[in-house]
């Protein structure tokens, strides 16, 4: 890679990092997505495994976070998606009367992502390739590079593995009705695993680009 290519690549890296930060909302986005679940778990435990206080705690947290974002005049993308997610989970759990059902929509999402990404690989249109392509402003250019296409298929399998691992662990605890451990591991396996997989993807893609 010559000096000009290296400069252009570094510009792409910076742009990609900014786009990724915007996509997850930075550290505030991490807090926004985790706080309702954390307060649900805390209220459920402190109240002696009562569902109603837990649902109220999660709902109030989600609405408060949305209100704070409005006051700060920041993007509502992450909070609105989180607000809708919490609202649906709370409605579903309240309807069934089972605390573990609060986590069921998230389990479904893990299954959908794992299946969707796996299918994208099988049909040789790896999802990661399109995501990275979109971040770089060239959605399909990578498909002309056989080596890059192969890399994106491999990296996409990492994402399948990540979502599948979360699915298996959380589904097992859901079946066991272990709400406290399910909620705790959902938090521990949420952003940490996601960010670690993002980091692995970023390293693999940048390493290929510098060859």
User: What does the pLDDT look like over 90-121, one tens digit per residue?
Assistant: 999 999 999 999 999 999 999 999 999 999 99
Q: Which two tokens stand for residue 169?
A: 């662990």
Domains: count for the chain: 1
Phi-psi region at 74: left, alpha or beta (left = phi > 0; alpha = psi -120 to 50): beta
The average confidence (pLDDT) of the chain is 85
Q: Over the stretch 33-63, which tens digit does the pLDDT of each residue have?
A: 789 999 999 999 999 999 999 999 999 999 9
Position 13 pLDDT exceeds 70 = no
Position 89 pLDDT exceeds 70 = yes
Confidence tier at 27 by pLDDT (50, 70, 90): low
Q: Which of 190, 18, 109, 144 is nearest to 117 (CA)?
A: 109
pLDDT of residue 9: 41
Q: Which of 35, 50, 56, 43 is nearest to 97 (CA)?
A: 50
Q: Give me the long-range contacts of 119-128 (CB less than 8 A, separation at least 24).
A: 120/156, 121/153, 121/156, 121/157, 121/160, 124/149, 124/153, 126/152, 126/153, 126/155, 126/156, 127/156, 127/159, 128/152, 128/155, 128/156, 128/159, 128/201
Q: Is the pTM of this model over 0.75?
A: yes
Q: Which two tokens stand for residue 31?
A: 């807090």
Percent of the chain whose pLDDT exceeds 90: 58
pLDDT of residue 11: 47
Q: Over the stretch 116-139, which tens digit does the pLDDT of each residue have?
A: 999 999 999 999 999 888 878 889
Confidence tier at 5 by pLDDT (50, 70, 90): very low
CB atoms within 10 A of CB 119: 12
pLDDT of residue 32: 75
Range of the domain at 191: 3-209
């Amino acid at each position: 890679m010559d000096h000009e290519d290296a400069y252009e690549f570094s510009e792409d890296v910076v742009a990609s990092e900014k786009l990724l930060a915007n996509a997850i909302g930075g550290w505030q986005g991490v807090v926004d997505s985790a706080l309702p679940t954390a307060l649900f778990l805390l209220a459920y435990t402190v109240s002696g495994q009562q569902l109603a206080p837990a649902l109220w705690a999660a709902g109030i947290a989600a609405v408060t976070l949305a209100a704070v974002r409005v006051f700060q005049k920041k993007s509502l993308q992450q909070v609105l998606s989180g607000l809708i997610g919490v609202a649906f989970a709370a409605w579903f759990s309240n309807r069934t009367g089972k605390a573990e059902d609060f986590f069921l929509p998230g389990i479904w999402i893990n299954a959908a992502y794992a299946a969707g990404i796996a299918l994208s690989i099988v049909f040789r249109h790896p999802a990661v390739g399109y995501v990275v392509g979109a971040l770089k402003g060239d959605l399909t250019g990578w498909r002309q590079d056989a080596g890059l296409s192969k890399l994106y298929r491999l990296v996409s399998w990492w994402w399948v593995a990540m979502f599948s691992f979360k699915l298996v662990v959380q589904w097992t605890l859901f079946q066991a009705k272990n709400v406290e451990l399910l909620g705790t591991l959902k938090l521990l396996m949420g952003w940490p695993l996601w960010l670690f997989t993002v980091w692995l993807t970023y390293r693999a893609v940048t390493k290929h680009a510098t060859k």
